[in-house]
Amino acid sequence: MIFGVPELGANIDKCDTETLRNKLLLLLERYKEKRRHELIVVFDGNVGASSTMSVSGIDVVFPRTGLDADEEIKNLVSRSRNPRHIIVVTGDRSIRQFVRKCGSKVVGPLEFYKSVQMKTDRFPASGRESKGKIRDGKEPVSKITGPSRTESQYWLKVFSELKEKPTDD
């Protein structure tokens, strides 16, 4: 999905993969705050054994060595007890064909991104913001709305830990 949406992967020459992954996860975190869907993100990456972690309530999966994200997605769908409740976001033709045969729905990356943006954007499409602010389309909405609740909690924790540590001054 990252490379299928220009807004997520447009600066791939300037960003490392971890930065792009975090950008996607931040977007999905805001979506999850609005819609309480179960989200699973599968990233390619060589971490040895298969690993799953939770980031802001989103399951992040890295396939085991020898498998790529495509195969892991197919495994997740085929092992599901109710694949009709699964929506897979992909632009890959073989994944689309496979998950449709299993009964899952498929959405393209750009279509999903636009849908998420509409559901997470707190402002009307007219371009006028609350408190008289006008968006010119150059600044991200997050600059006006501020951090999400999860981001705020994270930074409060970081800064409170720093405050508690003695300094060398």
Domain count within the chain: 2
Q: Is the pLDDT of residue 134 over 50?
A: no
State the first-to-last Cα distance of the chain, in angstroms, to the nearest integer. 47
Whether the per-residue pLDDT at 126 is higher than 50: the answer is: no
Contact assessment for residue 32 and residue 39, using Cβ atoms and an 8 Å cutoff: yes
82 and 9 in a common domain: yes
Q: Do 112 and 155 fall into the same domain?
A: no
The residue that leads in pLDDT, 24 or 147, is 24
pTM of the full predicted structure?
0.66
The length of the chain in residues reads 169
Which of 83, 105, 120 represents a domain boundary (last residue)?
120
Tell me, yes or no, whether 114 and 154 share the same domain: no
Instruction: Specify the pLDDT at position 72.
Output: 92
5 CB burial (10 A radius; 0-12, 13-18, 19+): buried
- Look at 132 and 149; give whichever has higher pLDDT: 149
CA distance 138 to 135: 8
Q: What is the mean pLDDT of residues 136-143?
A: 48
Same structural domain, 81 and 162: no
The pLDDT-based confidence of 17 (bands split at 50, 70, 90) is confident
Judged against a pLDDT cut of 90, whether residue 121 lies above it is answered with no
| Separation of alpha carbons 150 and 32, rounded Å | 11
pLDDT at 4: 81
More confident residue, 47 or 112: 112
Whether the pLDDT of residue 141 is over 50: the answer is: no
Q: Which of 104, 143, 102 is nearest to 122 (CA)?
A: 143
95 and 157 part of one domain: no
Q: How open is the CA angle 63-15-119, to the nearest 5 degrees?
A: 75
Does residue 164 share a domain with residue 147?
yes
* Residue 9 CB contacts under 8 Å (≥ 6 apart), including other chains: 2, 3, 20
Own/partner pairs, 93-102, CB within 8 angstroms, 24+ separation: 94/70, 95/70, 98/74, 99/73, 99/74, 102/77, 102/78
State whether 84 and 165 are in the same domain: no
Residue 107 has pLDDT above 90, yes or no: yes
- Report the pLDDT value the prediction gives residue 108, as an integer from 0 to 100: 94
pLDDT of amino acid 46: 60
**Distance (Å, rounded) from C-alpha 99 to C-alpha 85?**
11
Average pLDDT value over all residues in the chain: 77
Domain assignment of residue 27, given as a range: 2-120
Query: 3-class secondary structure for 57-110?
Result: CEEEEECCCCCCHHHHHHHHHHHCCCHHHCEEECCCHHHHHHHHHHCCEEECHH
Give the residue-averaged pLDDT of 13-25: 76
Q: Which of 105, 120, 135 is the last residue of a domain?
A: 120
Question: Are both 100 and 157 inside the same structural domain?
Answer: no
pLDDT band at 42 (very low <50, low <70, confident <90, very high): very high
Residues 114 and 130 in one domain: no
- Based on the fold, state whether residues 114 and 129 are members of the same structural domain: no
Q: Looking at the predicted structure, is the pLDDT value of residue 69 above 70? A: yes
